[in-house]
Chains A and B, each alone.
Chain A
Amino acid sequence: MKKISNVLVFIILIIFNFNSFAEEKNYHKELITDWSRIFPDQNRNAAGPKFFKYIIDKKITYKDFIEFNKLYCAVSGSLIDPDSEPDFLFVNESDTNTKICGNYYKCCIPCSCDIMKYSKVQKMKYEFDDGLKEFFVFTIKNPCNKNDFPNRVNKDYFCDGKKINDKQVYNLNDRIVIGLLHDGRSCNKDEIDYIKSHQVTGRYCELRNNTPMENLDAGMGDIFIKLAR
């Protein structure tokens, strides 16, 4: 009994030590610290892709990758508070047009609508520090040929001439990755019904997505839409 007791105490000591002394990584603080390096011109309009590229270029684990990607809005480029709740939504897959469901961390409600309507998702594989992982990412088509490229977005972040600027944003099959769809998987019927009847992803988004672009003033207004449509 005494031996067992001593072993238990030893194990508890080890566990407590790990919990107490290991500093939990502060992902939010890290993004705040490096903000001026991610956005040297301080223009983060629609610049979710800059966050994604900055994060994936780090030498990190898959868990770090997931946590970092909860902290910015893929549509607006805003930082998101650490305790924010995601919206559960679906987006069509680029190749198959099947609906992929998952969680999207947004800065404001209209961004959920914009991402559902104007982005696609693609499956992506990547080798992290702890191994090869597969996940779904939001993408938009190459905007670099647009005549009406939104003037409030820094074009140099996205484009190198008419090509996607691979040094600044992540290029996946000639589409720009703008963020991560968390917990992505093929939707089942119940999930689609839930999303379509939800007060945000259903009713509100229907209203927003049927509003003429010149009348859009909530969220990022028409900046992201002009970039992504």
Chain B
Amino acid sequence: MKSKYTNFLKKIILLSILITPNIVNADFFEDISNKIVNNPKRLSYGISVADIDQNEKYEFIVTGFGYPNLALSYDKGKLINVASQKIFSDEFRKTIGVAACDVDKDGYEEIYFLNTDTYSGTKKYSDRLIDLERNKFLDMFEIEKNKEELNLTAGRSVACVDREGNGEYGLYVSNYGGPTRFYEIEGDKIKDKSVDLNLDKVTGGRAVVSGHILTDRSDIFAANERGANFLLKNNNGFFDDVAFDYHVDDVIQNGRGTTLSDILYRGRLDIISGNWQGYHRAYVLRDNKFKDIGNIKFDKPSRIRTIISADFDNDGYDEVFMNNIAEPNKLFRIKENGIFEEIILETGLEPDGFGTGAAVADIDGDGILELLVSRGESKEQPLTLYKAKVKKDSKYLRIKPLNKYGAPARGATVTLITDQRKHSKTIDAGSGYLCQMEPVAHYGIRKNEKSFKLEVKWTNGKKELINISGLNKTITIRQK
């Protein structure tokens, strides 16, 4: 009798394990923060990944709020700050948002630092647009002819938009309590074109992303606070706000971390958008409107900041990292059919972390993404750096598209086509919330996956199909 009961209990226990759905327990990340040399407590905000010194290596650019902006470069197993010039480090202006792109068509990315010394409305110090000329950083806004276009409104995020698909990037500056700005270089002068483009709307701007969302050109999604989100459909370089029509206006929630992600592995970019203490959205386009398919664990309200969609563990499925402030972080794996499987974090949970930003890059070049988390706002804290624990036999492919000027093709879409998936990734234009990822499409490879092809859709909508031979490498593709 006793053994029958024991058998029965065993079955129950086994079944309980088998049927517990959508939760994975295993320590996913390894904490490698000790690789950051000189990592004091500070107030950090947005992070971007760009090559600041034109040496074909990316740096993590970390903004400081009353602390220096940093450029963390990987060298001999360590991350070391290589930014010492005052115009870059600029600790007296309070920088929160950052994005990089080639606005002057010289093949190298300029860096837009969004400074905010007040919560909303008029601010004291303007933003900077940093260019490197003969090894010296200069602020393009400090050139006399550009001074009339200074942004003196508090803001949060900034994204690069190649609105005409010709490699000439503009900068969408998501302001708070004042009009949105859209800067482009016209002739040799910076010009705010927001009025001409009907983008000068006043809102509580929070996040902005740009890429192939609806059309074959760069569209824009801006997540706002105390007002409707914008979904700006590119119409020959001009924009129509279609957020209401596409059901993404989310007017009574307060937008934060936003990213473009191929949630259904179907070869198109959809939108993941977090809301401050509101329901997080996983918007998938169906029948000309976006449907939120986030499950009850995914959409649970939190104090959300940056959201990142990336394949950290090289298993061929993207994870979604939710960086919360003063609340534990969360991680989900996007499985087939848009199922979000929660990965319970131990390392990287940061329950007492005041997370303000995060970005990914394979900074050490080993084919595994590093995740850098910045913290601060109401408490000085050091940066943290994580890397997923990856299976030894894992494989990857990294695709680095460069536009016709030789600069990272931010806003282009890379699609990996195999016998198992059609998986699109954006070349991040920034600034999902204050931050911008490396301009590389990073793919882990699935088990038994074969027949690899790549498609690059450039910012002008033209597509290029490339056959792949061999894995575990970074492929640079140049626009013809």
Contact = CB atoms under 8 A, between A and B. Distances in A.
A215 interface: no
By DSSP majority rule, is chain B's interface helix, strand, loop, or mixed? Answer: loop
B12 to A, nearest CB: 7
Contact of B228 (A17, A29, A36): A36
Given A29-B279, A32-B252, A36-B249, A21 B21 contact: yes
A10 to B, nearest CB: 9
A134 interface: no
Interface stretch (B57-65, B292-300, B416-424): B292-300
B21 A20 contact: yes
Contacts of B296: 23-24, 26
A16 interface: yes
A9 B249 contact: no
A79 interface: yes
B292 A33 contact: yes
Nearest to A26: B296
Contacts of A17: 19
Contacts of B244: 36
A29 B252 contact: no
By DSSP majority rule, is chain A's interface helix, strand, loop, or mixed? Answer: helix
Nearest to B278: A32
Contacts of A9: 8, 11-12, 15
Nearest to B243: A36
B11 A32 contact: no
B299 A13 contact: no
B20 interface: yes
A58 to B, nearest CB: 16
B292 A16 contact: no
A224 B249 CA distance: 28
A213 B274 CA distance: 42
B34 interface: no
B4 interface: yes
A2 B4 contact: yes
Contact of A12 (B12, B251, B299): B12
A26 B299 contact: yes
B247 interface: yes
Contact of A29 (B15, B16, B299): B299
Given A32-B253, A32-B279, A36-B244, A1 B4 contact: yes
Given A5-B11, A32-B278, A33-B292, A16 B299 contact: no
B15 A20 contact: no
Interface string B4-15: 100110011001
Given A24-B296, A36-B244, A13 B251 contact: no
B250 interface: yes
B251 A35 contact: yes
Interface in B204-259: 228, 244, 247, 249-253
A21 B11 CA distance: 20
Contacts of B7: 5
Contacts of B251: 35-36, 42
Contacts of B8: 5, 8-9
A130 to B, nearest CB: 23
Report which residue of A13, A29, A35 has the largest number of chain B beta carbons within 10 angstroms of its beta carbon.
A29
A21 to B, nearest CB: 6
Given A2-B4, A26-B296, A33 B19 contact: no
Interface in B1-37: 4, 7-8, 11-12, 15-16, 19-21
Nearest to A6: B11
Contacts of B19: 13, 16-17, 20
Interface of B: 4, 7-8, 11-12, 15-16, 19-21, 228, 244, 247, 249-253, 278-279, 292, 295-296, 299
8 contacts: A5-B7, A5-B8, A9-B11, A13-B15, A20-B20, A29-B292, A33-B250, A35-B252
